[in-house]
């Protein structure tokens, strides 16, 4: 377990995020803002001190600033993700209230980092190597009455398979990864067509999912190691000091193409 806590054992998410910046445009930024408004309707982000744990490309941090957060702190354990976020900060000129640092969630404490109106970690804590300890560490950074927003992989029947696949993929050479991406995309097209859906339209409209990009997300999914998943009831059991404000969850299912993330917004009591 201790090996999995080290950045060196993780999939290189940051390389993928730096590449993602090459396709980032105003439409994707607007979709990212819409995704945050869904989690934080009304004025919940206005004048908030906002912590983004596992900032990736920095897109969510940028969206938070645009939605009224007064102070944004972006943290990631991956140096390339930190570089990507700093690059986005420079590209958009949002320097004043936006701080970007290299730091693990396991190194953050209320004593060293303070507490926040909003602590946000979307699709990150299940990649730390110790998901529930990461959830606990992140939750301690929420001030009384503040909001804690997390997205975690939902548990499916295929989680064991995906854990093995991700461990292999994250260590595989680029040409093997490319072959696995092609196989996954082919399976995606077959499964969507059998379900009566248009896979080309799904790929074309993919940016409406929080501003993301289909091909970058395929690479992210196949390589996202370490990997853990959770049931909604487990999330609530591990956070007894919080009350649920809103959630966006779906049944686990088989997970043939992956598990997807369930989203939770909770308030510290």
Q: What is the CATH number of the domain that holds 116?
A: 3.40.50.150
Residue 221 predicted with pLDDT over 90 = yes
In a domain, 198, yes or no: no
pLDDT band at 5 (very low <50, low <70, confident <90, very high): low
Over residues 20-39, mean pLDDT: 94
Please tell me the least confidently modeled range out of 83-97, 169-183, 232-246.
83-97
CA distance 162 to 179: 17
Lookup result for tokens 């946000």: 120
Rounded to two decimals, the pTM is: 0.92
CA distance 192 to 205: 14
CA distance 142 to 131: 17
Q: Which of 98, 100, 110 shows the shortest CA–CA distance to 64? A: 98
Instruction: Check residue 207 and give its pLDDT.
Output: 80
Over residues 193-205, mean pLDDT: 92
Residue 194 predicted with pLDDT over 90 = yes
**pLDDT tens digits, 105-120:** 999 999 999 999 999 9
In a domain, 193, yes or no: no
Annotate 59-97 with b (16+ C-beta within 10 A) or e (fewer).
bbbbbbbbbebebbbbbbbbebbbbbbbbbbeeeebeee
What are the backbone dihedrals phi and psi of residue 186, each rounded to the nearest 5 degrees, phi first?
A: -60, -45
In a domain, 136, yes or no: yes
Q: Whole-number mean pLDDT of the chain? A: 94
Instruction: Check residue 208 and give its pLDDT.
Output: 77
How many domains in the chain?
Answer: 1
Residue 28 predicted with pLDDT over 80 = yes
Instruction: Check residue 9 and give its pLDDT.
Output: 65
Q: What is the dihedral angle through the alpha carbons of 50, 51, 55, 57, rounded to the nearest 10 degrees? A: 20
Instruction: Check residue 43 and give its pLDDT.
Output: 94
Residue 3 predicted with pLDDT over 70 = no
Parallel, antiparallel or unpaired: strands 116-122 and 49-53: parallel
Higher pLDDT, 251 or 229: 229
**pLDDT tens digits, 41-75:** 999 999 999 999 999 999 999 999 999 999 999 99
Residue 1 predicted with pLDDT over 80 = no
Q: Is 183 exposed, middle or buried (0-12, 13-18, 19+ CB in 10 A)?
A: exposed
In a domain, 194, yes or no: no
Over residues 160-176, mean pLDDT: 97
In a domain, 170, yes or no: no
Residue 90 predicted with pLDDT over 60 = yes
**pLDDT tens digits, 127-136:** 999 999 999 9
Residues 6 or more apart from 237 whose CB is under 8 A from it? Answer: none
In a domain, 177, yes or no: no
In a domain, 162, yes or no: no
Instruction: Check residue 109 and give its pLDDT.
Output: 98
pLDDT band at 2 (very low <50, low <70, confident <90, very high): low
In a domain, 202, yes or no: no
CA distance 150 to 142: 12
Q: What does the block give as tokens for 216? A: 């970058």
Q: Is the dihedral of CA 4, 20, 102, 113 positive or negative?
A: negative
Residue 204 predicted with pLDDT over 90 = no
> What 8-state DSSP symbol labels residue 172?
S
Helix boundaries (H) for the chain:
13-20, 26-39, 59-66, 79-92, 110-113, 131-139, 159-171, 174-194, 199-204, 214-223, 232-237
Please tell me the least confidently modeled range out of 8-17, 79-88, 186-195.
8-17
Containing domain of residue 129, as a range? 3-156+224-268
């Amino acid at each position: 377990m201790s090996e999995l806590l080290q950045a060196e054992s993780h999939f290189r998410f940051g390389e993928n995020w730096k590449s993602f910046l090459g396709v980032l445009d105003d439409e994707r930024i607007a979709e990212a803002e819409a995704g945050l408004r869904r989690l934080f309707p009304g004025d919940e982000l206005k004048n908030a001190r906002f912590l983004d744990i596992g900032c990736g490309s920095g897109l969510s941090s940028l969206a938070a600033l645009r939605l009224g957060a007064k102070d944004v702190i972006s943290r990631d354990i991956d140096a390339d993700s930190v570089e990507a976020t700093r690059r986005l900060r420079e590209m958009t000129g949002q320097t004043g209230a936006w701080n970007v640092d290299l730091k693990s969630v396991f190194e953050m404490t209320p004593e060293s980092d303070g507490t926040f109106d909003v602590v946000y970690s979307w699709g990150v804590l299940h990649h730390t190597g110790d998901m529930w300890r990461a959830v606990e560490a992140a939750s301690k950074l929420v001030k009384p009455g503040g909001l804690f927003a997390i997205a975690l992989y939902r548990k499916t029947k295929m989680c064991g398979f995906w854990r093995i696949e991700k461990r292999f993929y994250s260590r595989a050479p680029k040409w093997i990864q490319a072959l696995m991406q092609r196989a996954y995309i082919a399976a995606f097209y077959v499964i969507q067509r059998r379900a009566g859906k248009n896979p080309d339209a799904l790929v074309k409209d993919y940016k409406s999912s929080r501003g993301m990009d289909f091909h970058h997300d395929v690479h992210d999914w196949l390589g996202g190691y370490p990997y853990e998943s959770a049931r909604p009831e487990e999330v609530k059991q591990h956070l007894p000091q919080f009350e649920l404000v809103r959630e966006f969850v779906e049944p686990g299912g088989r997970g043939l193409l992956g598990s997807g993330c369930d989203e939770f917004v909770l308030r510290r009591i």
